[in-house]
Structure formats: structure tokens, C-alpha cells
A and B are shown apart, each in its own frame.
Chain A
Amino acid sequence: MSKKNGAGGPRDRGRAQSLVVPGQDLGESEGQEAGHGVIVMEGRLRATKNGRIRNQGSTVSIEPLHTRYIPRPGDLAIGYIEGCTNNIWFVELGAPFNAILPMSLGPGKVEFGGTRSVMDVGETILCRVQEVEETHSSVVTMKGMGLRKIRSGVIEEIDPHLLGRLIGKGGESLKRLKEDAECRVIVADNGRMWIDGDLDGILEVRRQLDLMTVESRPIPVGGGH
């Protein structure tokens, strides 16, 4: 315990107070909006996730420690082609449900029955989420600036909640990473990033990512358990 007080400093102690667990009471709901990870039950706010409290205006939300990506319209996403029919591709986004990419929204001109020759199973695409219905049927598109089939480089995964840290204030951290490694790096909203460049650069970016993932573990492991 002395370690926590010594190394954490006052800033960390302040943050510690805002860590909540599912079911935790967050006070009266009157005059407050329930944001992400928060629900209203019997006139009171209640946490539904393990994470840190964020107050923005009158909205109380939780920034989860771990989370799965949920697609929203407009998101830039990196997906894998998981299957196809005559006129549709099925795209895996690392989300709770797959999306479809209709032939009409595919790259360039595709003829009916020619989906596989344009993009085969196992290929990787940079796409945008066009719509997500209530039932979670979702559609992605490749019509738009820069959207394409990815032919070189590598895809790395990073927990969606670490994206902010990766990109940094005003994109500073990401910019520095790109310059240091002399790589092209595109970070998609679904926690996947495309790194393209020479092998040494790619390895350098991966090394930095691994470092960040280790550092970001917010909870010190140890103590009584």
C-alpha cells in the first residue's frame, strides 16, 4: 500500500476516486444525463461498467477499462473479408456483429458474380461504416476518399479505449510515431491500425505499441491476491 501512495502522486490519487464497478450507485439522476456505461434506475444513476467516471456538462459517463468496439455510422474501419456471395461481401470488423459490403458500394466496377475476383476471402479493406440498424444489421462502404483494399503493410490491433492515448493531444503522439518510424500509419475507429513502410519502420511502430499497451495497464497488479 505504501508503494501506491509513494509512486502514484496526487494526480493518480484524484483519478483513483473515480474508478467504478458495475452496479455502483452514482447519485441522484435529477439534473444529470446518463452517458456511456451509465443507466437510470429508480431515479438514481448507476454504473454498468468497470471504468473511470467522466463528467462533461451534466452528462455522467464511464470510460471503460476494457471494451469491445461497437460500430457507429461514419466510423473509419479496417475489416477482413470473411465471405462473399454474387453481389455482397461479408466484412469482419472485430465487432459483436459482421457488416455487409454490397457490390454497389465496393471498390470501382464489379460485375455481378465477380466479387471474389475483386476482393477474396482473407483480404483486408479500409472502409467506412455507412449505417447500423437497431437490430445491428450494418453496412460498410468503400466509396470515399482513401477507402481501398489494403495490399501491403501490416494490421495491428489495439484496445479501442487506448486509441486516445495513441493519437495524443491534437494528434501529436501519432505524428511523432509516424515521423520516427518513417511509416504511414492509419488508425481506424475499430481499434485496428494499418502500418505501411519498410520492415524496420513497421517493427519500430510495433515495439512502441507493445510498450504503450504494457504502460497503459491502469491497475497495478499485486497486493493481497
Chain B
Amino acid sequence: MRTMPTTLPVLLRNVVLERAGKTLLGPINLQLEASGRTVILGPNGAGKSLLLRLCHGLLSPTLGEVCCATLGSPTRAEVRRRQAMVFQRPVLLRRSAIANVTYALGLVGIRGQLARSRAMEALDLVGLASLAERSARVLSGGEQQRLALARAWVLQPEILFLDEPTSALDPGATQAIEAAINRFADNGTKIVMVTHNLGQARRLADHCLFLAGGRIVESAPAATFLAQPNSPEAAHFLAGEQGAYLKERDDDPDYYSV
């Protein structure tokens, strides 16, 4: 349903990110394919968020290059215009929900009545149409994240990056976000998401990337990876997260009620 993407696949060649002489990430060689839902997993400090930011052009690599198909580096505005990102904590402008969406449209030159109707569609999609005129900053955490998704959606990105978008949300809100992400994917948008939640990875991932110590340790189809990781690090990580996951269920008697 989409015309030929021009920023996909995203290719990372020998990408290294250093800060103050310390290597934080890399070297990384990676190709993000034009479709499907890629989930990035890994322990804290593995460099997952940094990887997303490099792919989105919010950071520039110290060495190597990030190349988005024919359009080149994502630090170029016209590349980033075809990408979108949803952050762990949504940063919403201090204005109404709909104004947050029309603002994003304004940046790509869509204004006035057209912008309003497109924004309403996007809000409707995430179930926020009735809160359109509400100030964005007084929405609940889940509503704010859905608004961030609507704002990303309305730009019709070829690729959507998500950095632990549900880590601060309750299960109900998480479900709403996951549904919206699936709708993005069904629409042909490439999804690249960082998560800590293995259940979420199971529900959403087509493909898994496992990062540890700033490097890609494993890259495999989700079913394969989650059932039978190849590397000891990933196996350890999955066991640990599984343990934490089970422990969390033990500690939280309400968990089953969701």
C-alpha cells in the first residue's frame, strides 16, 4: 500500500560510537530490512538506545557510517522526515493533544484544515479522538504515549523506532500501545523496537537482535532466538529475564487479574 521506500534498508557499516575515549558501541555491522518488526534485546548498558539513535540520526557515529538506502545518512533532514521515533518518556509540547500532532505536520509543510483532519484521523486510530482538545501534559502516561504514537503515525514514516515505549505503563496501556504498533506494521511501516519485556518481544517480534557490551551478539528470527538462543550471553539473559519475569508474577498477586 506504500510506494517504494527510499530510506530502507538501513545499513550500518563498521559503526563505532565513542565518548571521551571510551567505546560505547561497536563495531557494528547491520542491515535493517525494509519490512517486519525487529525487536532489540539486551541487558542494561548494552547500547540498545544508542543504536536506535544512530539509526535515526540523533547521534553521529565516531567511525563507520549509517546509510539509509539511496538517501544516505539519517542525520540529513530529508531522511529523518521519513523516519519517526517514540521515546521511553514521551516529550509532549505544552499545548493541546491535537496541536501536538498538527505541529509535527506543520514541520513537513502540512497546515490548516488538511492538517487538522489528518491529525484527527491519527488520534482516532489510537483512541484519543475524544481528548483532542485536552492539554497534552495533563493526559495519563498511557494516553501520552498513545499521543506520541499518533504523532509518529501522522507522518507516515517508512520506519518507526521505539525505545522501550511501554516500560512505564500498566498492562492495559501496554496492550493499547502494542495494538497501535501492530497497526503500523500492518500498514507496511518497518518497526524497530527496544524492549525489556520478553512477553512483549514474543507478542511483537518477527526478528530479534541481541546486544551485549555494545556489540550485536545474535541476530535471528524471533521464534528461533526466543526458543533457542545460540550464544551463552543471550541464553543467560533470557534465563535471567525469565526468572525476573516469574519472580515478578510471584511478587504481584494482582498480576493474573489483567
Q: Is B truly associated with A?
A: no
List the interface of chain B (C-beta within 8 A of A): none
List the interface of chain A (C-beta within 8 A of B): none
